Amino acid sequence: MHDSQPLRLSILGIVAVALFTALLSRLWFLQVMAAPAYQAEGEANRTRTVVVEGPRGRILDRNGVVLADNRESVVVTVDAYTLDRAEDPDVILDELVVELAAGGVATTVKDIRTAMSDWNGDPFRPIVVAEDVPRDLYYTLSEKASTMPGVGVEMGLERVYPYGTLAAHVLGYTGEINEAEMASHADDEVKPYELGDTIGKAGVELQYESQLRGTPGSITFEIDPLNRIVAIVDEVPPAPGYDLQLTIDSDIQGLAERALETEMVNARTSGEFSNDQPVTAPAGGAVVEDPQSGQILAMASSPTFDPNELTQGVSSDRYAQLATNCAETLCALRNRTIQDGYAPGSTFKPFSGYAALTTGAREPNTPINDGGSFTLENCVGRCTFFNAGKAPHGSVDMRKAIRVSSNVYFYGVGSTFAYNEDRFGGRPMQDTAELFGFGSQSGVPLPLEYGGLIVDAESKRERHEANPDAFPEGRWEIGDDVNLAVGQGDFEVTPLQLANAYATMGNGGTLYAPNIALALIDPQTGEPVRTFGSRSRAEIDLDGEARQVLVDGLVGVTTDGEGTAARVFAGFPGGFVVAGKTGTAQVGGKASSSVFAGFAPAENPQYSWAIIVEQGGYGSAVSAPIARRILEPLALRDTQNMPLPTTPLPGQEVQGEIEIEIQESEALD
């Protein structure tokens, strides 16, 4: 027993030494090795950093007119953490509601509590419970800060569109970022997003989001153990985003929008019928482009919307009404110039005509007899096709066929291609259409562009095999070629594609990817940091003789007595020759779409355009007058130095508006 005592003492000593060694090692680790990490954690426990959004860049038109800006706005906020730790939070909120009501802002404690509970962003970031309140409240609530803990008031920046609906579909709108958008921008380290931040939702606000968005700053607060702010430790000021200058001319944009609305209203009240259906003209689009550069000068879509309404926040029901539930608003958020596809009708005839001239299917001066109808040989089913109104045009060559819009002439073109497939190949009109940019996205830097539709024998068979219920016909028939020659059938274009194709014909063969932006501008220096030059998609080796034949026909449309738009352009200013083409595109069970496209001046085009009005009837009755209302002020400016009518701010009248007398057209198309 006595001999074991030293052994036990030795073991206890070893254990004690081991314990002290472990303890000392741990102390050394905590004080030396882990000190920086724990110091940082301790620092975080006593400081909080709040991210501050940078001012968003402005959006300007090509002449510097501000189309989207930032307006200083007074916002009331609630710090939920501080409020809920106050002696009586509900009393504070009751007092806040009273003060807001005295300032003309109606809200309830329930509304404020709902805003707080719905907030899922930074818990240390004050929650906005009232926006754009009267400036007097800024001073009133600031004075009561000590008696209303958790309630704050600050000057913020609110996105504003001074001209309201003008160019709304081009500009788009902004709104609060959602979780899906947060996820898509998770890798943005230079301009990180926080829930509650503003982000572009549509148009160029979305397309150029990364350039327009300011660089966030931050404020680091020192807080006490109760998370109350003690002092500001550090502050990094936010930096503004770049200003974006567009190719849009706000005055031309105003011309296009007013012309579109004027003639659509006239069409609705005309009592006219088309395709055995009443003309209702519920929607439409108009594009004006510079054919020498591909710059978009105007892009109007109707019905439209006010981006200010969306930026300030709308109910889910109102948003659905604008975006998806089209019963009342016809989906006003849709940009019909790039998102919707339409049959081009007779405005495609110059392109099927180009295919006919360049393949030898037609000689330019060789006439055919147009008796008003065309019948396919050895045909079963629908075999006879007619001119508009079944009107005969007599002896018709290529120029006159364009001028009077002879369907019979072009039905013959389509049947010639169909009956001579070995000679011309299977898709000469489709190849020509693709050459001029149909069937694919134009490349305009705007979201949600539709690429259009061109169907040929192969694609018709493939889609039938993939979905025979939706596409019961899988074989390409002669009637398909006949329809395509006059811009009907399985063929869809957007107004922008159509304007761009006419721009290509007008400028001699350069197919541009249209531009909507000119430059990014440093807001502090006013100097451009990046410019956006013209982008050529293709250089088409146009047949000069064939092109001139078609241009002659297009000029005849507006200047020759037989032209389908001659009465519309009667008395048009001299020295500015318009080359255009009317179109009336049939739609099953509805009135036809009214179409007019072209370029001017004919010899050296500075403008190309396309106008499509849904259920508008004849192109000569609705879309051609729209073009006249747009082009006449441009012609007077360019030939007589007369200034364009100035686009007004909401509530103001147009300055310098020109009275235009448009004769009722007798031509059908």
Give the percent of the chain with pLDDT over 70.
92
Structure tokens, 137:
């409240």
Give the dihedral sign, CA 158/164/170/173. positive
pLDDT digits (tens, 9 = 90+) for 365-415: 999 999 999 999 888 888 999 999 999 999 999 999 999 999 999 999 999
pLDDT digits (tens, 9 = 90+) for 73-126: 888 888 887 888 888 888 888 889 898 998 888 889 898 888 888 777 666 678
Q: Which residue has the higher pLDDT, 95 or 283?
A: 283
Q: What does residue 639 show for φ and ψ, rounded to 5 degrees?
A: -105, -25
Question: Is the pLDDT at 35 greater than 60, yes or no?
Answer: no
In this predicted structure, what is the pLDDT of residue 20?
66
Cβ density class 556-586: b for 16+ within 10 Å, e for less: bbbbbeebbbbbbbeebbeebbbbbbbbbbb
What is the pTM assigned to this prediction? 0.89
User: pLDDT band for position 36 (50/70/90)?
Assistant: low
Q: Which residue has the higher pLDDT, 17 or 364?
A: 364
In this predicted structure, what is the pLDDT of residue 131?
81
DSSP 198-223: EEE-SHHHHHTHHHHSPBPEEEEEEE
User: pLDDT band for position 64 (50/70/90)?
Assistant: very high
Question: Is the pLDDT at 150 greater than 90, yes or no?
Answer: no
If you average pLDDT over residues 571-591, what whole number do you get?
96
Please give the distance of CA 182 from its chain centroid, rounded to a whole number. 22
Question: Is the pLDDT at 1 greater than 50, yes or no?
Answer: no
If you average pLDDT over residues 194-210, what whole number do you get?
94
Angle between helical axes of 428-435 and 349-359 (0-180°, round to 10): 120
Nearest CA-CA partner of 205 in 256, 238, 164, 169 = 169
In this predicted structure, what is the pLDDT of residue 573?
96
The single-letter DSSP state of residue 493 is B
- Which of 20-24, 243-247, 460-464, 536-540 has the weakest average pLDDT? 20-24
**Residue 83 neighbours by CB distance under 10 Å:** 20
Q: State the DSSP H helix or E strand holding residue 17, giving kind and residue range, or none if neither.
A: helix 4-28
CA angle, 538 then 541 then 544, to 5° = 135
Question: Is the pLDDT at 14 greater than 70, yes or no?
Answer: no
Q: Could you tell me if 106 and 134 are in contact, meaning their C-beta atoms sit under 8 angstroms apart?
A: no
Q: Mean pLDDT of all residues in the chain?
A: 91
Q: Could you tell me if 521 and 242 are in contact, meaning their C-beta atoms sit under 8 angstroms apart?
A: yes
